[in-house]
Amino acid sequence: MESIRFQRNEEAARFLASYYETPPLLFVHSYGCQQNVNDGEKIQGVLTDLGFGLASRPEDADLIVFNTCAVREHAEQRVFGNVGALKGLKEANPRLLIAVSGCMAQQKDIVEKFRQHYPFVDLVFGVNAIDTLPALLCEKLQSSKRLLCTPVERDEIVEDMPIRRNSAFRAWLPIMYGCDNFCSYCIVPYVRGRERSRKSADILREFHELVDAGYRDITLLGQNVNSYGKGLSEKIDFAQLLRMLDAVSGDYRIRFMTSHPKDATPALIDTIAGSTHISRHLHLPVQSGSNRILAEMNRHYTVEDYLALIDYAKRRIPEMTYSSDIIVGFPGETEEDFRATEELIRRVAYMQLFTFIYSKRTGTKAATMPDPTTHKEKTQRIARVLAIQEEVVARLGGAMVGKTVRALVEGAGREAGTQTARLDNHMTVDFAGNVPEGDFVNVLVTGVRGAQLLGELV
Ligand code: 5AD
Ligand code: SF4
């Protein structure tokens, strides 16, 4: 797979410096997954590199970018609502530019909707156009016309893009882009294109930079990290990449997401078990506990395959915790199918569960499947999942009481005077203290409230 190096657009830098009398301010709002948040940080990087400052509120900005998500209809509606709400700002500040990027911008019909119904949106650019943003922005500023780019596929990876991260201790590190799996419900392969991996040397270089800059929590990103390496000229797989990164010395943790169960192997679990820095937590989205539905979803594994891997991991790494995504109400899901999901959730005992009602995405295979279950039934099923999950989480949390754990301070806790810190297994603990964010602390777990561990600094 080809990759190119980012080139700073000097002409754009000169133009922007002459166009704006005072340094312009940028406000980026990213929706959806971490991949998208990371793209938002690159948008910030590319533009601050050209002289933009960052605004903390949209009201202060000269350029607002909505970096959007298309995975569920609800996310799209929120974007349309939020973009619509900017109309007043635009009237108050004629210099303000409004841009839309991300996964929604990769869909022709959505770009068309912005064109027809949102006349105050000035610029639309796709997920693979961030490096060309300076040129697009200049083009827009030099003409009175709106610039709504037609979605294109572009497989090239752009390395060395400037980045302005939102945190000084937690970082996202993409190792691959796109997805080839075509799960029947999912829009991602259509908007983010074919799967392509970054060269390990490029990943390692960025990883070193992060560790050297003091990042403590580094999450490797990809739609399916376990198929890392396919299509590269070097011979490397995900477990090898993990070992290569884990060998870098420093006080940090590695996380990764997302693992597709069809490609996750006992070798991956062994790699985690033998590592120094890899977090003892596995996000392994199962989506459904019914083999019939899994087949309809085009997931390429059975409940038995999935549980065999989880059982292996539980034996090999007893302290490991698990999380998952569940889709409730996939077309044709019966009460029996759903009960199988309930059973699986109880059996695995996930520390965290992301539960979604199926959302029809035009253009995907599932969008053509009959879906007779009512929305009311689906909402009731979601409530049933949440009730099971509450029990499970309380039990897992209870088992932590009395343990002293090492945790990374992330910010303010729920109650005044408390802080919250993340354990290696991804649980969080609240404690009274005043420790700098991004420091590791030792905490004695003294209790649980709901899903929240409570503790005292040791
Ligand atoms: N409807 C509901 N949930 C979906 N997801 C992906 N596509 C859809 C959809 N059409 C969920 C899956 C995936 C997570 C990121 O979003 O559970 O793992
Ligand atoms: Fe969508 Fe499936 Fe790819 Fe995940 S693996 S992004 S659910 S197609």
**Cα(53) to centroid of ligand 1, in Å?**
35
Under the phi-then-psi rule, with left for phi > 0, alpha for psi from -120 to 50, and beta for the rest, what region is 320?
A: beta
Long-range contacts of 81-87 (CB under 8 A, 24+ apart): 82/29, 83/114, 83/118, 83/121, 84/118, 86/58, 86/120, 87/120
- Residues 135 and 8 sit within 8 Å (Cβ to Cβ): no
Q: Is the CB of 72 under 6 A from ligand 2?
A: no
Copy the structure tokens of residue 104. 């929604």
Ligand 2, pocket-test mutation among 33, 184, 185, 186, most atoms within 8 A of CB: 186
Q: Is the CB of 188 under 6 A from ligand 2?
A: yes
Q: Which residues contact 213 (CB under 8 A, 6 or more apart)?
A: none
**Cα(229) to centroid of ligand 1, in Å?**
24
Whether pTM > 0.85 for this model: the answer is yes
Q: Is it the case that residue 394 has pLDDT exceeding 80? A: yes
The runs of H, that is alpha helices, within 148-187 are: none
User: How far is Cα 342 from Cα 385, in angstroms, rounded to an integer?
Assistant: 7
Q: Is the CB of 358 under 6 A from ligand 1?
A: yes
What does 277-306 look like in DSSP terms, one character per residue? SB-SEEE---B-S-HHHHHHTT----HHHH
Give residue-wise pLDDT tens across range 212-227: 999 999 999 999 999 9
Rounded mean pLDDT, 170-198? 96
Is residue 56 very low, low, confident or very high in pLDDT (cuts 50, 70, 90)? very high
Residue (of 344, 282, 347) closest to 316 by Cα position: 282
pLDDT on residue 410: 97
Q: Is the CB of 224 under 6 A from ligand 2?
A: yes
Q: Is the CB of 405 under 6 A from ligand 2?
A: no
Q: Is it the case that residue 143 has pLDDT exceeding 80? A: yes
Rounded mean pLDDT, 196-215? 98
Give residue-wise pLDDT tens across range 334-390: 999 999 999 999 999 999 999 999 999 999 999 999 999 999 999 999 999 999 999
- Residues 391 and 448 sit within 8 Å (Cβ to Cβ): no
CA of 364, nearest ligand number: 1
Which atom of ligand 1 approaches the CA of 361 most closely? 10
Give residue-wise pLDDT tens across range 268-291: 999 999 999 999 999 999 999 999
User: How far is Cα 1 from Cα 159, in angstroms, rounded to an integer?
Assistant: 13
The runs of H, that is alpha helices, within 96-132 are: 108-117
Rounded mean pLDDT, 44-54? 97
What residue type is 177 in one-letter code? Y
Q: What is the mean pLDDT of the chain?
A: 96
Q: Is the CB of 330 under 6 A from ligand 1?
A: no
**Cα(159) to centroid of ligand 1, in Å?**
29
Q: Is it the case that residue 94 has pLDDT exceeding 90? A: no
**Cα(408) to centroid of ligand 1, in Å?**
29
Q: Is the CB of 186 under 6 A from ligand 1?
A: yes
67 phi and psi, to 5 degrees? -95, 105
**Cα(286) to centroid of ligand 1, in Å?**
11
Q: Is the CB of 34 under 6 A from ligand 1?
A: no
Where b means 16+ CB within 10 Å and e means fewer, 33-71 reads bbbbbbbbbbbbbbbbbbebeebeebeebbbbbbbbbbb
Q: Is it the case that residue 451 has pLDDT exceeding 90? A: no
Measured by CA distance, the residue closest to atom 12 of ligand 1 is 325
Q: Is the CB of 139 under 6 A from ligand 1?
A: no
Residue (of 354, 192, 188) closest to 283 by Cα position: 354
Percent of the chain with pLDDT over 90: 96
Give residue-wise pLDDT tens across range 309-341: 999 999 999 999 999 999 999 999 999 999 999
Is residue 91 very low, low, confident or very high in pLDDT (cuts 50, 70, 90)? confident
Which atom of ligand 2 approaches the CA of 180 most closely? 3
Q: Is the CB of 371 under 6 A from ligand 1?
A: no
Q: Is the CB of 165 under 6 A from ligand 1?
A: no
Give residue-wise pLDDT tens across range 413-446: 999 999 999 999 999 999 999 999 999 999 999 9
User: How far is Cα 321 from Cα 422, in angstroms, rounded to an integer?
Assistant: 13
Pairing of strands 404-412, 440-449: antiparallel
Q: Is it the case that residue 1 has pLDDT exceeding 70? A: no
Tell me which of 181 and 94 has the higher pLDDT.
Answer: 181
Measured by CA distance, the residue closest to atom 16 of ligand 1 is 71
**Cα(182) to centroid of ligand 2, in Å?**
6
Least confident of 91-100, 101-110, 300-309, 432-441: 91-100
> Which of the 8 DSSP states describes residue 78?
H
Q: Is the CB of 179 under 6 A from ligand 2?
A: yes
Q: Is the CB of 181 under 6 A from ligand 2?
A: yes
